[in-house]
Amino acid sequence: MDHGLRARQALRFFQSEHVSKTDQSYTAIHDIDPGFYRLRALANSTSEAPDELKWVSTWVTRKGEFQRWTKMNLKKWVGDLSPALQRQANILKKQDKDATALSTNVALKTP
């Protein structure tokens, strides 16, 4: 199974109307990966194909399927990243912090 593909699909699904920020699948990942930096690093670990599915169709058609898959697979994958992917997640986190700091500084200097 392509973990990068599934991570991209999960990110798209998390951003869809199918999952709220109070959903158990969202909080299960957010609790171990606030900001989804590890999930994003995993998603970037393989190239996106032009024809890849937006997400797994059963996540929508079978009640509880995404939640079950998140608990059984995604939570483990995000928690057990390789050192290289963990470094990539840390880089993503630093980039977000730097961008936030820059935008805050610009906002403070604007009359």
Mean pLDDT rounded to a whole number for the chain: 89
Cα first-last separation, the chain: 53
70-111 pLDDT tens trace: 999 999 999 999 999 999 999 999 998 887 776 665 555 655
Quote the pLDDT of residue 23.
82
pLDDT exceeds cutoff 60 at 21: yes
- Give the type of residue at 16: S
Tokens of 46: 């393989």
Q: Which of 51, 48, 40, 52 is nearest to 77 (CA)?
A: 40
Residues of the chain above pLDDT 90, percent: 66
For the chain, domain boundaries: 3-109
φ, ψ dihedrals at 58, nearest 5°: -70, -15
Quote the pLDDT of residue 86.
96
Mean pLDDT of the 50-55 span:
96
The pLDDT confidence band at residue 36, using thresholds 50, 70 and 90, is very high
